[in-house]
A = this chain, B = another copy of it.
């Protein structure tokens, strides 16, 4: 089953069921007003939502309309909790070299994870307002899961059963602000502005071969300003999502609608490229002694689309497409947007 949130006047938007080929959608607000409400009442609403999805696939859904990814907010436009891991260890090791910090002890046995800001997620085609090019504007392509309520102390295997939806994420990062916040020990705050999401959230069963062992086994295709940047493979996650959830729930329960991220997709072999500029820059430094690639400039665009390992060129990725432009924010306006 595929779900999306259509933008509306309300902060949580309107829930829609989306067809498997992302061409059609049906309003589902009779079942649950919003994605957030659906996640909070999942056991109640899932059968009805799946019934709508089945009617949509069989061409018998009244009120079906053309699904426009441009109309979408993030699947959860806001969440009470967003925790982002760093489960691709190769990325972490490269970043340690980039930031010139000591290797983190036990990073292959205890997941790294930061608490992110969930109050104001960015839709897949919305402009991204940021205040300063000198902050080192970078994208980070990754995957995430939206969970049901998770009890404190859950095991990694039990945690896998709490995954309701899988999502695709662009975790915007301001690289010039990161090192200071890391050195403080308090973690990322200004270095992690609002996060973007692809339009469609997918139940694990609907990903088929793309969901194995608690990992998204798909390539994440990334274009920067229309040029291919990388297509790393999500199946190489060291910790699976159940392990990440269990880490987050060790000393507290997680409320339904908590989003857990994988961290930047990254592969040991560099053949498939990277999912963020910082990683490419570190590889350049290692290879040639200096970074050649600059961070993003205002007006730049990034496009991200996850695709099955063996997909044809024409097949849509299950999460739809993130395609965004970075724009200079004007201080004093509500979201920094120019008026």
Contact = CB atoms under 8 A, between A and B. Distances in A.
Interface string A78-112: 11110100100000000000010100110100101
Interface residues of A, number: 66
B153 A131 contact: yes
A115 B115 CA distance: 6
A11 B253 CA distance: 14
Interface string A191-234: 11110000000000000000000000000000000000000000
A255 B78 contact: yes
Number of copies: 2
Given A185-B182, A186-B113, A189-B114, A252 B120 contact: yes
A251 interface: yes
Given A78-B80, A174-B251, A86 B334 contact: no
A186 B184 contact: no
A331 B152 contact: yes
B113 A251 contact: no
Interface in A140-197: 149, 151-154, 174, 177, 180-194
Nearest to A83: B189
A101 B86 CA distance: 24
Contact of A193 (B86, B107, B120, B252): B252
A83 B258 CA distance: 17
A32 to B, nearest CB: 15
Nearest to A174: B251
A120 B253 contact: yes
19 contacts: A80-B118, A112-B184, A112-B186, A114-B186, A115-B116, A120-B254, A120-B255, A131-B153, A131-B251, A135-B251, A151-B332, A152-B331, A152-B333, A152-B335, A153-B332, A154-B331, A154-B332, A181-B185, A190-B247
Given A80-B120, A81-B117, A191-B251, 18 more contacts: A11-B255, A79-B80, A80-B80, A104-B185, A110-B180, A117-B252, A118-B118, A119-B254, A120-B254, A131-B152, A151-B332, A152-B331, A152-B333, A182-B186, A185-B187, A189-B247, A189-B248, A190-B247
